[in-house]
Amino acid sequence: MSAVAGKPQLRGLLRSYMKKHGIIGATLSGISVVLYKFGISDPRKKKYADFYKDYDPDAEFERMSALGLMQSTGGGYGNE
């Protein structure tokens, strides 16, 4: 009892392959974009917003000058 194998699809094989895998690729790309936006991009934006909410650049400048990290301000870097 040998089963008769069906005819192979020769005409339109690439088209059917690309149709199937194009849909799969587009779907996975869309899912990746959504996951990246809500998993990485939005939390990062929130962290930056929280940091700069109470950030005082003048106080940070004074702190860095007092530590001697600012060479141009004469705050002690090489002037001990």
The enclosing domain of 20 has a CATH number of: 4.10.93.10
Asked whether residue 9 is domain-assigned, the answer is: no
Asked whether residue 8 is domain-assigned, the answer is: no
pTM: 0.62
Among residues 8, 6, 5, the alpha carbon closest in space to that of 16 is found at 8
Domain count, the chain: 1
Note the pLDDT of residue 21: 98
Asked whether residue 50 is domain-assigned, the answer is: yes
Whose structure tokens read 């194009």? 22
- Locate 8 and state its tokens: 């192979």
Asked whether residue 63 is domain-assigned, the answer is: yes
pLDDT tens digits for range 26-79: 999 999 999 999 999 999 999 999 999 999 999 998 898 888 887 776 655 444
Asked whether residue 61 is domain-assigned, the answer is: yes
Residue 67: how many other CB atoms lie within 10 Å: 11
Question: Buried (b) or exposed (e) across 2-24, using 16+ Cβ within 10 A?
Answer: eeeeeeeeeeeeeeeeeeeeeee
Domain limits at 23? 15-67
